[in-house]
Structure 1
Amino acid sequence: MLRLGGFLVFTQLLLGVYHVLSDIKPLVTLENYDYTKYHPMEEITSWMVMVVKENPEVASSMVYGNTFEGKNISVLKIGLNSTKSKKVIWMDCGIHAREWISPAFCQWFVKEILRTYKTDEKMNTILQNLDFYVTPVLNIDGYTYTWHNESSRLWRKSRSTPPKDCSCYGADLNRNFNANWGMIGVSRNCCEEIYCGSGVLSEKEAQAVTTLVESMKDRVICFLTIHSYGQLILVPYGYPEVSAPNYEELMQVGLEAAEAIKSVHGTDYTVGSPPDVLYANSGSSRDWARLIGIPFSFTFELRDKGDFGFTLPENQIQPTCEEAYAGACSIITYVHDKVFYNAATAITSVWAALLMSCLTSVIFL
């Protein structure tokens, strides 16, 4: 009986070990990473490490700031090595914590670039001329908080401590940038979702973006910030009756992107400035980017139009990302071609004119 009892105990131990091991997920690689699921921050961080590890010839990462709670804010740099100073496309996701489709899109975007650049001649050319700087989650504290439980799922703001006269945490990071800060479409009540912070750039996350982007603003030619929801492409500015100097071109590029989006799954996106198609606001990163001289600056508001809102189901991740990728690529291609091909054409025209002038001078001599 003792032997039988020992055997039963040993068998139970083996079964216990088996169940524990069977619950352990396999090590994440880019090959088995599921882009049709929402992922908590620790999985996104592991994914970023894997992107660099598996694509050292084109991908790198760096920490460019810290959140209020001390978490590292990292950016993925995607581009082919070059000895020349390259132009930059900026993209950030997850500035509002509850907009889970936004980080999912940033990951999809990186995946598609890495998947296609070796075989797609256009994407390869773009990566030779441009570097993509992609921040999958900017509001890391807030995003992590939305994964705690159902009661925190719709948290929007950062997680900074409240001012002395208030008891509510966090500020709206997209009201905290130096772009007509605190003027319109904001609240000074720290318990409101659109609380703009105690001062311009009071939030460490907004400070981090400002410092990095301003350090290379002469190279940044396009600024894309990804949000949800509403199916919108927003152009500067959020302040009423004030338009960007290249407003007409921004609208043209935005409308072309909306057409590219529609061509994928038939989804309609509306293009315009916030006062025209959404609501007036100030302190946004989109407006700030245009104000410091970045010529092309857009906000994407991804699916849907309110049926699910911030809780977009996972079965909509793939179609949402597929169409938004087409829209983003439309903008990126336009910007790239304007900077590189138009510049080359202009230089060729100048040299042709000079050559003709010289030939004419020779003839008349």
Structure 2
Amino acid sequence: MLLLLALVSVVLAHPSGENFDGDQVFRVHVEHEDQINLIHELANAKELDFWKPDSATLIKPHSTVDFHVKAEDTAVVKDFLEQNEFLYEVLMSNMKNVLEAQFDSHTRASGHSYTKYNSWETIEAWTQQVASENPDLVSRSVIGTTFEGRNLYVLKVGKSKAKKPAVFMDCGFHAREWISPAFCQWFVREAVRTYGTESQMTELLNELDFYVLPVLNIDGYVYTWTKSRMWRKTRSTRAGNSCVGVDPNRNFNAGWCEAGASRSPCSDTYCGPAAESEKETKALADFIRNNLSSIKAYLTIHSYSQLILYPYSYDYKLPKNHEELDTLAKGAAKELATLYGTKYTYGPGATTIYPAAGGSDDWAYDQGVKYSFTFELRDTGYYGFLLPESQIKATCEETMLAVKYIVSYIREHLY
């Protein structure tokens, strides 16, 4: 029996497929255009999995680039970097060890846990349970289905009252960003746990509704648990093309496919054949369009980099209320830091990280949602997409402070 339990835990801790043994993650300092061209050259010769920025095309001078390299290519990559006199460091010398260490939570719960990474099946069951256990505060609806036929659930969280303004929050756009869905679950937990005892949350739930979409890219998320932990895109397929998936955060009709997005179906930043080509992005966009009169804020949760971003990402232009958004982001970052001292950078997407067209935050803003923010959660690259479970609680606690800060401001500045 003990042996069987040990085998079960090994299966859970090793999503099947690649094992990443000997794979490495590099951080390379890029100073000028010549070096950017060299990284492009390297990316064309070897299969590099770009973590930050999302693709080679987004590299800027005087920046750092994080990418994952397969075990068999690490020696060649090191030689290349050294011959061309790059400053670099190895963030992960063996990715398999970091991957295994991700499951370091001491929670022994067999079912859903707020301090563990939960599989989609577990999250789906949780959406049903949290709604049935808290009928006065939570209701669940299906807003569409994924390419592979899974239900897209939205939890409506708030005290029942006619014509309430609302905040829309989504998680799990990019499949490998596991800390993101963990936060959406944590948010719902805190809402139901502290309603009636904590004054700020009680006021927010009395005055506002929260639409929480725990995982947008469910097919991709399932794939990271079963086949390939580093998968990013959706899992849609198209006739005549062997490459799978679209980057859902390049698939919205906001400067669609202009900057920082690729028209190549094999790219991690593929914008898709058309805006809203993906069933998931179309369902989200339809829901927001249908509820536009009540939705006053849009929050989308990603990882990693510790950033609070506001529009625009598809252009260097600034939104009309950019001073207000900047002040709000600054205050949220300051509030977040009060708990564990975690430093967040804030600003408009294009200048703060890089131009990227087709993002949901820009799209929501252009629909008339005046308060639109993207969070990039922990960390700054030491673990990257493999943030250990032992950091879920702290990450979620500090992010809650920032979210409550933003939403409390919005409640007092309704439009």
Q: If the length of structure 2 is used for normalisation, what is the TM-score? A: 0.73
What aligned pairs does 1:1-365 form with structure 2 within 5 A after superposition? 33-82=112-161, 84-149=162-227, 152-162=228-238, 164=240, 166-339=241-414
Alpha-carbon shift at residue 241 of structure 1 (Å): 2.4
Letter in 1 for 2:213: T
In 2, the alpha carbon distance for the partners of 1:226 and 1:182 equals 21
**Cα pair distance change 1:185/1:163, threshold 3 Å:** farther
SS at match of 1:181: coil
Letter in 2 for 1:330: Y
SS at match of 2:210: strand
Alpha-carbon shift at residue 332 of structure 1 (Å): 0.6
Letter in 2 for 1:241: Y
Alpha-carbon shift at residue 33 of structure 1 (Å): 4.0
Question: Unmatched 5+ residue regions in structure 1?
Answer: 1-14, 25-29, 344-365
Contact (CA 8 Å) 1:105, 1:321: kept in 2 or not? Answer: yes
Alpha-carbon shift at residue 122 of structure 1 (Å): 2.5
Q: If the length of structure 1 is used for normalisation, what is the TM-score? A: 0.83
Contact (CA 8 Å) 1:36, 1:314: kept in 2 or not? Answer: yes
Aligned-residue identity in percent: 48
In 2, the alpha carbon distance for the partners of 1:81 and 1:274 equals 35
Letter in 2 for 1:271: Y
Alpha-carbon shift at residue 121 of structure 1 (Å): 2.3
The residue number in structure 2 matching 1:3 is: none
Alpha-carbon shift at residue 46 of structure 1 (Å): 0.9
Alpha-carbon shift at residue 162 of structure 1 (Å): 3.4
Deviations 1:138-192 (A, max 9, x none): 000000000014xx1010000000352x311000000000101011000000110
How many equivalent residue pairs?
Answer: 313
Bigger radius of gyration, 1 or 2? Answer: 1
Contact (CA 8 Å) 2:157, 2:205: kept in 1 or not? Answer: yes
Question: Unmatched 5+ residue regions in structure 2?
Answer: 10-108
In 2, the alpha carbon distance for the partners of 1:274 and 1:58 equals 34
**Cα pair distance change 1:141/1:50, threshold 3 Å:** same
In 1, the alpha carbon distance for the partners of 2:236 and 2:177 equals 19
Contact (CA 8 Å) 2:254, 2:314: kept in 1 or not? Answer: no
Alpha-carbon shift at residue 240 of structure 1 (Å): 3.1
Larger mean Cα displacement after TM superposition, 130-139 or 236-245: 236-245
More helix by share: 1
SS at match of 1:198: coil
In 2, the alpha carbon distance for the partners of 1:108 and 1:173 equals 23
